[in-house]
Amino acid sequence: MDPDLILRWLHVLGACVLLGTGAGIAFFMLMAHRTGDARLIAHTAGVVVLADLLFTTSAVVIQPITGGLLAWRLGWPLSEGWIALSLALYVVTGAFWLPVVWIQLRLRNLAREAVTNSTDLPAQYHRLFAIWFACGIPAFAAVLTIVWLMLARPDLTIRWLG
């Protein structure tokens, strides 16, 4: 089998996992949050944390490896405009994703504490959820843009790269 085809398949699969897991996590967390039910939120956040660990983390590792190998095998310099912009957006996505992972853990723990203590969700939970939601918007937009750049490969000139 063609190694370039395998690399492309792995790279596209990784992009699908990043996009799909991100959308799924956002949807299920938002739906659980809207119920206000600490037990449901605790359960959903626990599943979300696991999904992030298994799927998102795997894709986050695979994407730069497969992308770098593809660029090298196809003779595309990393300074190519659309590749450089994709890499910059990848860093932006990571800058939002890393705090989101920590926030998801805190949301899960705060919801579990509310269940254990038979109390309402604390104000800290609601503040963290708002931050979590706000971080998701630019991260998701960046991933969508990266997928578009990967497919369209527009001729971009980024002045600081040459």
> Region 24-42: what's the mean pLDDT?
97
| 83-97 pLDDT per residue, tens | 999 999 999 999 999
pLDDT of 32 strictly over 90:
yes
Residue ranges making up the domain that contains 79: 3-161
pLDDT for 160: 61
Domain count, the chain: 1
pLDDT at 44: 98
161 pLDDT more than 70? no
Please, what's the b/e burial string for 70-84 (b: 16 or more CB within 10 A of its CB; e: otherwise)?
A: bbeeeeeeeebbbbb
pTM: 0.89
Lookup result for tokens 């119920």? 35
Is the predicted pLDDT of residue 81 greater than 90, yes or no? yes
Kindly state the average pLDDT of the residues 60-83.
94
Is residue 124 over pLDDT 60? yes
Cα torsion angle, 116, 119, 120, 122, sign: negative
Taking the C-alpha atoms of residue 108 and residue 137, their distance in angstroms, rounded to an integer, is: 20
Per-residue pLDDT tens over the stretch 140-152:
999 999 999 999 9
